[in-house]
Structure 1
Amino acid sequence: MMRPFLSTLLLCAFALLSTSCSEEKHASPPHYKPETPDPLTAEPYDWESARQEVPSVTDLVLLYGGGHHRDPYAWDAERLSDYVTYTDTDGKTHWLFDGFLLLEIMDPAVGEGAGVKFANGYTYNNQPLRSATREDWQRLIDYYFADETGIGALEQVVATAAATLGEPAVKRRVVISIPEPILYRDVDSKVTEYWGSVDGRSLDFSDVNDRVRACQWFIDTVRAEFDRRNYAHVELGGFYWLAEKASDTSSIIGTVAAYLDDLNESFNWIPYFNANGARQWKTYGFHCAYLQPNYFFSESVPESRLDEACEMAAAAEMQLELEFDDNALNSRGMAYRLRDYMSAFRRHGVWSDKRLAYYQGGQSLRVLKNSSDPADKELYHEFCQFVVTCPIRTAQ
């Protein structure tokens, strides 16, 4: 995993127009391993069947949450408001991000649910984490659907903004990350029957059908919550595959993709730079894949990485991710690297032609906004203007 996360340590750096995010129905993709799971039978809700195409977004911001190492822990209305709207230096308020990716990679905190990972390959303070169970997955869902935080808070913030700005052209779209059904319970064990039960039957992840069934359970549980709550201002914009390389899950991605396609739900992926399977994202059945340049986090990575990433994304018909964290503060000396992204994306036509995902640490956009340093305020406005003036944005 190449994208860093905010905790007591920084993991190693990993991190509609001419866009290539396919909005058309596609055939079930082929698989890369001999094991081919059985197809799933989809039963769309009326609001899914009514869609003319799978949902898409122009500007997708990543909002990590659900692990108890996050500080602050909850995404309340105050935090989310800075991602829903932006007020420029002339006092004009704009809609900001139209998509919100809710995701978590681990919960290493002491207490209930301690020491779990939601995707393979993560450790905490160099200590192994056990693979998350159905109970852990359910706890993530409950976190996302809290009334006063998470999606509930997002609904409140958009409603408040709409009272002043008028309703946006489309509802704000929420993309939910699917935890990886990790083969083994522990790094050093061969236990594969640990996750829990569905319909009274214990799942064994040595069977690819059971790994797919766990994903189906998660997808259907999330969809049922959206159907039950019937939000007025936000909607389910699809799902995200948390594993940032294909090698551990290549045997099941295609079946999950076909299931989501039959439901008219989008399937999204953000592999790290040169990740296994990244260039083959269409073959796996994703509707949209963003490439991580992994440039911001280490000054040993040359600026030419951005050119290489833009060229690679163009060749593979991928979208791009823009990345920064609190090191973009003027006091930390890496603001120039965020500007390098914006410059390269303009230079290569990414800004004008492609959809973008935005990795911004824990809440680094707010950190820039609330800084007392004028240089940070300037960078905050520069970044937000980069977002709101993007030519391919739909009427917001």
Structure 2
Amino acid sequence: MGEVHKTMRLKKWAFCLSALLITSTSIAPMGNGYDGTLIGIAAARAETPVLSAEKEVAQEQTVTGLTFSLSLGKALGIQPIYPTKGSYGDVPRYSTEFGYVEAMVALGILSPGDQIQPHLPITRQDAALLIWRALGDPSAALSYIPYPDGSAVADYAQTGVAFIAQKGWIPLRAGSFDPQAPLTVSEAEAVFAAIANTRHSQAMRAFDVISTRSLDIKKGSLTPLEIPELKERLPFTPVYGIDVPDLGSLTPQGQFVIGESTSKKGTVTVNAGYSAYDVMVNFYGGSSSKKVDTNKSKGSLSPVESGREYTAKEIPFTYRIVSDKPDQVFQQTESTSYPGPEEGIGAKSDTWTGFYRQQGRDIIVDLGTPQPVASVSMEFMQDIASAIRFPEYMRTYLSTDGQNWSYLGQVRHDIPPSDKTVQTRTLSLQFPSASTRYIKISFPVDIWTFARRLSVTRGAESSKPLLLPKEDRAAEALKAPAPAPEPTYLQVPGMNDVLLVYTGGHEARGTWTSADFLPMIAHQDPKGSLTGRMFDTILFLPYSKVGSSRDEWQSYLDDLFAPYVQLSALNEALASMNKVMGTAEKEKVILTIPYPDPKQSSFGSLEQNGPALSFDVEKLGKEAALKNRLAAVDWFYGQLLSRWEQAHFEHLELAGIYWYAETMDARIPGEKELVQGTARLVRAKEQNFFWIPFHGANGYDDWRSYGFHYAFLQPNYYAEDPKRSDERMTRTADLARQYRMGVELECDDRLLKDPQYYQLFYKQLNRAHELGFDGPTTNVYYAESKTLVTVSRSSDPKIRAIYDDLYKWMIGLYKPVRQ
């Protein structure tokens, strides 16, 4: 470089639209959040992809002052504002850049007097200055620059470079800072990656304590809600969620004031960054002349004439709905059962829109143009007798382009999923006015979620921008741990095919002999000769009628370990197979812990003359009921293992324990703790813990968090509709790979007599073959009560073929049958 003149004359900042360039390359930041790399933005968004060779060249190109500033603002989470008069005459108010430029001016990061040339490459020292303004502490005295060329740093940039020297965010060049050299694309990317990580950490710890608070307020008074001080240089904006419409409101200064509510209590969810805590507000004393509408009824489920009417502050919108885990069958059920009002979910109608399973929904609202927004609300219903539950939360995101989202916050409530009262709640988020075009409202769906009257209200034009974290990091911070990344099906070591065997009822159909087991563990040809191995694992489980009392569980154990049948018969069948085939194999066995029904009020005593246990949550409360349920599970598990050890089955190997319930019922307090407690008992005895949830069950996507070693997903393809499409099988395969699960195949006695179910079985088998279920994976098989035993003995060649084809499928020789 030539001689550096610290007093050189610099042109003042004069923004122009043509400055949105990286020198010689048309690359600009997109959306309302830094997207990771400037080159990556070009590759993802530009019409002409950036090839690898071009990318290497582009990374060494320089970044204009305006491009750097806008990318910095988005990495920081700054939201645009649109004042009536702009700070720069040549940046039109309608331009994309205007809102971000004005927001950075309002925060003191940019100034019309800055000595930076936006249309030319930004220097390394000027980049350091802007970063310090954004994230540095103005009260901290920074002057030491530990670089050999520190004297070349301009006076106005000294503090900024000293700040960057501490952070190490701008790479050195041959041991020097090179302050007046242009910043390259690769250097800018390193800076923004560091800033994104810093902001993510700040968003995670915006509140040091997120435990629930309580607040008692005299009814009729106005009480400002005090929140902890947000200490960051650019603190994330507090956003308030409320579950009672008149609980409170925001002042123009952004403080939440609890108002003259007509309710006895309510919940305020205080958000900042990714942090949130609840304030449980209780009102006492006082009186109100307002009439309280408790909304304790389901409301009309037929369309009404009122249509969509907007109040003065409401903003008209269009919208689309996206399912987290789309399923055609579930979508058809919800669209035919509760499609909602003809005018849409924003209508002022009593009609509910029903959302059925599929894990969750995103309602993506389009306001048409950027609009100042101050609140978002939607009403939900709970009626657990109809399997309709409040979502645990409602989360909201903002976007200027509908692609890159900033996380606004969430609103929660205090209604437990077990509350049987038919009731409604309006969940609302209030925040300082933010300019946005797109809004995303997200909420989980267990079985049914009913919603209506989605509303977006207008705010005043803001002079202070919001600061919000990015959505993609919100997913990382707010959601459950990601499943294993390897996109393959589950393979349990040493276990290929698992047959479900029901016992404990239904007389002969629930009583298995060695003759029943033999064609299940080994393939028999029509003459009775054994030709190969079939099911290497048997999962014993009770019929649902076994019940939930000590005596019923004891009877189930007695039946399971009875001589000549069930386990004993399986052991005998293995002995016969080994003798005929000249092998010395053992059959793996999975045993089941019956489900402790939370409605059981008299389970029985676990010790002589002891009190009878009750599992009744409503009578005992969560903790006492959970303790009793775990005690009963512990007793049964001990009995089960003791009986197994005493039996000395020579040809059987205990491979694990199965959890009977096929979903994690959120209505039952302590249900997750019950499963996790059972998992600890199972693991303590060094056994594997298995689970087979039905399609769309609650908790299947987070099965590891409950303590299971292995989980298999039911497609329920065969069980529900003989005319359904193959989409369910495809969807099940996608979910099984995503969450590293095995898959269940299904059949029952209907295939013996009903041609539709016979064809459906083969459709299932064919599609399973196409999807690779017969590859290196472990499958479980539901076959009602001895359906496969029946087909193995059938004299009808067509029925008998089911058994032979299933065997071929298991050993990898199956060729799809044309139906």
Range of TM-score over shorter length? 0.7 to 0.9
Q: Deviations over 1:230-253 (max 9, x none)?
A: 111012221111101011432211
How far apart, CA to CA, are the structure 2 residues paired with 1:329 and 1:105? 22
C-alpha distance 244-89 of structure 1, shift in aligned 2 (>3 A): same
Select 2:658's aligned residue among 221, 228, 240: 240
Could you tell which deviates more after superposition, 342-351 or 235-244?
342-351
Q: Does 1:184 align with 2:184?
A: no
Contact 1:55–1:237 (CA under 8 A) maintained in structure 2: no
1:317 maps to which residue? 740
**Cα offset for 1:268?**
0.7
Amino acid at match of 1:354: T
Q: Deviations over 1:124-152 (max 9, x none)?
A: xxxxxxxx201100100111101110111
**Cα offset for 1:227?**
0.8
Find the residue that maps to 1:75 and give its secondary structure: coil
**Cα offset for 1:88?**
4.2
How far apart, CA to CA, are the structure 1 residues paired with 2:574 and 2:517? 9
Find the residue that maps to 2:788 and give its secondary structure: helix
Contact 2:722–2:756 (CA under 8 A) maintained in structure 1: no
1:121 maps to which residue? none
Q: Deviations over 1:85-136 (max 9, x none)?
A: 11247955212111111112333xxxxxxxx53xxxxxxxxxxxxxx20110
State the TM-score, normalizing by the size of structure 1: 0.73
1:204 maps to which residue? 614
C-alpha distance 266-55 of structure 1, shift in aligned 2 (>3 A): farther
How far apart, CA to CA, are the structure 2 residues paired with 1:314 and 1:144? 34
1:222 maps to which residue? 640
State the TM-score, normalizing by the size of structure 2: 0.36
Q: Does 1:285 align with 2:693?
A: no
C-alpha distance 390-62 of structure 1, shift in aligned 2 (>3 A): farther
Q: Deviations over 1:57-112 (max 9, x none)?
A: 22110111112x354341111212221211247955212111111112333xxxxx
2:550 maps to which residue? 134
1:358-373 equivalent positions in 2, closer than 5 A: 358-373=781-796
Q: Does 1:349 align with 2:765?
A: no
Find the residue that maps to 1:352 and give its secondary structure: coil
Select 1:101's aligned residue among 530, 539, 545: 539
How far apart, CA to CA, are the structure 2 residues paired with 1:138 and 1:390? 43
2:757 maps to which residue? 334
Select 2:697's aligned residue among 272, 275, 278: 275
Contact 1:330–1:373 (CA under 8 A) maintained in structure 2: no
C-alpha distance 156-89 of structure 1, shift in aligned 2 (>3 A): closer
Could you tell which deviates more after superposition, 375-384 or 281-290?
375-384
How far apart, CA to CA, are the structure 2 residues paired with 1:353 and 1:231? 29
Could you tell which deviates more after superposition, 295-304 or 240-249?
295-304
**Cα offset for 1:276?**
0.8
Find the residue that maps to 1:94 and give its secondary structure: strand
**Cα offset for 1:346?**
2.2
**Cα offset for 1:176?**
1.2
Q: Deviations over 1:23-67 (max 9, x none)?
A: xxxxxxxxxx9xxxxxxxxxxxxxxxxxxxx98622110111112
How far apart, CA to CA, are the structure 1 residues paired with 2:664 and 2:745? 21
**Cα offset for 1:302?**
2.1
Contact 2:675–2:706 (CA under 8 A) maintained in structure 1: yes
User: Which sections of structure 2, spanning at least 5 residues, go unmatched?
Assistant: 1-415, 417-491, 618-623, 815-819
Contact 2:502–2:510 (CA under 8 A) maintained in structure 1: no
Amino acid at match of 1:250: K
**Cα offset for 1:331?**
5.1
1:51 maps to which residue? none
Contact 2:560–2:566 (CA under 8 A) maintained in structure 1: yes
RMSD: 2.4
How far apart, CA to CA, are the structure 2 residues paired with 1:346 and 1:300? 19
Contact 2:500–2:782 (CA under 8 A) maintained in structure 1: yes
Contact 2:792–2:800 (CA under 8 A) maintained in structure 1: yes
**Cα offset for 1:264?**
1.2
How far apart, CA to CA, are the structure 1 residues paired with 2:675 and 2:493? 19
Q: Does 1:156 align with 2:564?
A: no
Contact 2:571–2:652 (CA under 8 A) maintained in structure 1: yes
**Cα offset for 1:333?**
3.3
How far apart, CA to CA, are the structure 2 residues paired with 1:92 and 1:236? 25
1:163-178 equivalent positions in 2, closer than 5 A: 163-169=579-585, 171-178=586-593
**Cα offset for 1:345?**
2.2
Contact 1:291–1:321 (CA under 8 A) maintained in structure 2: yes
C-alpha distance 370-87 of structure 1, shift in aligned 2 (>3 A): closer
**Cα offset for 1:330?**
6.2
Find the residue that maps to 1:296 and give its secondary structure: helix
2:495 maps to which residue? 57
Amino acid at match of 2:682: L
Q: Deviations over 1:346-382 (max 9, x none)?
A: 2222221321000011111122122222111222210
1:81 maps to which residue? 518
1:111 maps to which residue? none
Could you tell which deviates more after superposition, 219-228 or 159-168?
159-168
Of the two, which has the highest radius of gyration? 2
C-alpha distance 389-89 of structure 1, shift in aligned 2 (>3 A): farther
2:798 maps to which residue? 375
Contact 2:592–2:657 (CA under 8 A) maintained in structure 1: yes
Paired residue total: 309
Contact 2:523–2:532 (CA under 8 A) maintained in structure 1: yes
Select 1:144's aligned residue among 560, 578, 583: 560
Find the residue that maps to 1:261 and give its secondary structure: helix
Could you tell which deviates more after superposition, 242-251 or 310-319?
242-251
C-alpha distance 92-139 of structure 1, shift in aligned 2 (>3 A): closer
Find the residue that maps to 2:517 and give its secondary structure: helix
How far apart, CA to CA, are the structure 2 residues paired with 1:388 and 1:320? 17
In terms of fraction of residues, the more strand-rich structure is 2
Amino acid at match of 1:81: L
Amino acid at match of 2:703: W
**Cα offset for 1:166?**
2.7
How far apart, CA to CA, are the structure 1 residues paired with 2:520 and 2:597? 32
Tell which has more relative contact order, 1 or 2 (C-alpha 8 A, sep 6+): 1
Contact 1:55–1:266 (CA under 8 A) maintained in structure 2: no
